[in-house]
Amino acid sequence: MVDQCPEYANLQHELQLTLQTLSDLTKAMLDAFRGNDRGAFARLDKELETTVGRKERVVGALRQHVKDHKCSGTDAA
Ligand SMILES: [Zn+2]
């Protein structure tokens, strides 16, 4: 087992959390859509957009870090 770069591990953790949030929001939005709950649908749509933006930033930061630091973190990189 190779020592894992702590910064890479942080970003990886953040990406996992963000993807989990995306998944939860998507499911909630589907429920709102099926239930014809327009208020919840609109609110979740906004949240989902914000979270997609965050996902983009974390993925970008992860790529940039690997490029700058030359660390591959794990095999998943
Ligand atoms: Zn690193």
Closest C-alpha among 47, 42, 53 to residue 24 = 47
Distance from residue 68's CA to the centre of ligand 1 (Å): 8
E runs forming strands in the chain: none
Distance from residue 21's CA to the centre of ligand 1 (Å): 25
Contacts 24+ apart (CB under 8 A), 40-47: none
Give exposure, 38-53, as e/b (b: 16+ Cβ within 10 Å).
Answer: eeebeebeebbeebee
Residue 56 vs residue 4, higher pLDDT? 56
**pLDDT tens-digit series, residues 34-50:** 999 999 999 999 999 99
Distance from residue 63's CA to the centre of ligand 1 (Å): 10
**pLDDT tens-digit series, residues 45-67:** 999 999 999 999 999 999 999 99
From its phi and psi, is residue 70 left (phi > 0), alpha (psi between -120 and 50) or beta? left
Distance from residue 55's CA to the centre of ligand 1 (Å): 19
Q: pTM of the predicted model, to two decimals?
A: 0.83
Out of 6-20, 35-49, 61-75, least confident range: 61-75
